[in-house]
Amino acid sequence: QAKQQGRNRFQFFQPVKDQPDQAHKRELVRIREAIEGDELRLHVQPRVDMRSGRVVGVEALVRWEHPERGLLPPGEFLPLMEGDELLHDLDWWVMDRALRLLEDWRSAGLDLTMSLNLSACSLQDTGFVAALQEMLAQHPSIDPAHLLFEIIESEALRDIETTASVIRACAVLGVQFALDGFGNGYASLTDFRCLPAQVVKIDQTVVRDILRSRDGRNLVKGVIGIANAFQREVIAEGVESAAHGLLLMDLGCTLAQGYGIADPMAPEQLASWIKGFRPPQLWTDRPDVDWT
């Protein structure tokens, strides 16, 4: 009787336990179809040098144009791909699309740097650098210095030795790296020292409250100071207003991106956006503001 009950219970629980797994597998199959079926889109968010008012580059941000659910941000599908090799396919899809865009822009006379967000799995892939080299060889008109790979700080730290050696190997090809999400609380200063990324991106959570809190300003000042001490370039993300930008310039950071400058957009819109862009008066006048 007990055995019978046990078996019944077993049969009852089995499908319940398997269900999320099955659903997850189905979602991965669907994402694979999206990659292969041309449903992914690469949007770009302009990056400006606030001091000169020039657009210096863009960050590529993937979206999924889902036939039923509309344009999905990466937060809706990247987490599902975590730990799956599909992420690797996504990275190469992004790379291919990005290099084509760079070629188009170059022939249109636009001299821009393209930031790409790289998954941790690509860093772990021993064939990554060779594959990158091959891909660059297929696009000889592109200057590798116009590519900047962004890696999330916490992911870069997962295997710091491997990350450092990939960064070094890419530097030989002329491709640069940025630590994304910097200042958001993972890297120790020792870790930072060991990662030869040429650029740091101050995390939007850190940038967000610089106007409201003196501690927030001190934190950004410190992050910029550390980056400068190591000769790393600094980019601020999450610049949501002209005032944020002005304060960042006062703190020593001139490269910025954020909704206060431009939202991510379809690449076809970029040229006309650049044509119409005028830096806010707050930046050109550079008023002396007492932020304390």
Q: Which does 155 bind (CB under 5 to 8 A by kind): Mg ion, ligand C2E, none?
A: none
Q: Which does 270 bind (CB under 5 to 8 A by kind): Mg ion, ligand C2E, none?
A: none
Task: Report the residue from 180, 210, 220, 261 that binds Mg ion according to the rule CB under 5 A.
Answer: 180
Contact region with Mg ion (CB under 5 A), list: 35-43, 172-180, 250-258, 269-277: 172-180
Q: Does 153 bind Mg ion (CB under 5 A)?
A: no
Residue 44 one-letter amino acid: V
Residue nearest to ligand C2E (CB): 258
Q: Which does 121 bind (CB under 5 to 8 A by kind): ligand C2E, Mg ion, none?
A: none
Of 53, 59, 19, 52, the closest CA to residue 199 belongs to 59
How far is residue 160's CA from residue 191's CA, in Å, rounded to a whole number?
8
- Which of 75/140 has CB closer to ligand C2E? 75
Phi and psi at residue 11, to the nearest 5°: -65, -30
DSSP letter for 198, please.
S
In contact, 261 and 239? CB cutoff 8 Å: yes
Residue 153 Cβ, how far from ligand C2E at the closest point, in Å? Answer: 10
Residue 158 Cβ, how far from ligand C2E at the closest point, in Å? Answer: 14
Contact region with Mg ion (CB under 5 A), list: 15-23, 125-133, 173-181, 186-194: 173-181
Binding site for ligand C2E (CB under 6 A): 45, 60-62, 73-75, 78, 91, 94, 117, 119, 150, 152, 180-181, 204, 237-240, 258-259, 264
**What HEC string does 208-237 produce?**
HCCCCCHHHHHHHHHHHHHHHHCCCEEEEC
In contact, 106 and 143? CB cutoff 8 Å: no
- Which of 76/215 has CB closer to ligand C2E? 76
Q: Does 122 bind Mg ion (CB under 5 A)?
A: no
Question: Which secondary-structure segment (H or E) carries 172?
Answer: helix 160-173
Task: Report the residue from 42, 102, 117, 254 that binds Mg ion according to the rule CB under 5 A.
Answer: 117
- Which of 79/109 has CB closer to ligand C2E? 79
Helix axes 86-107, 128-137, angle to 10 degrees: 30
Region of 185 please: left (phi>0), alpha (psi -120 to 50) or beta. left
Q: Which does 216 bind (CB under 5 to 8 A by kind): Mg ion, ligand C2E, none?
A: none
Q: Does 150 bind Mg ion (CB under 5 A)?
A: yes
Q: Which does 55 bind (CB under 5 to 8 A by kind): ligand C2E, Mg ion, none?
A: none
How far is residue 125's CA from residue 105's CA, in Å, rounded to a whole number?
30
In angstroms, the Cα distances linking 180 to 14, 199, 221 are 41, 9, 17
How far is residue 290's CA from residue 255's CA, in Å, rounded to a whole number?
22
How far is residue 227's CA from residue 272's CA, in Å, rounded to a whole number?
34
Contact region with Mg ion (CB under 5 A), list: 40-48, 91-99, 142-150, 157-165: 142-150
Q: Does 155 bind Mg ion (CB under 5 A)?
A: no
Residues that bind Mg ion (CB under 5 A): 117, 150, 180-181, 237
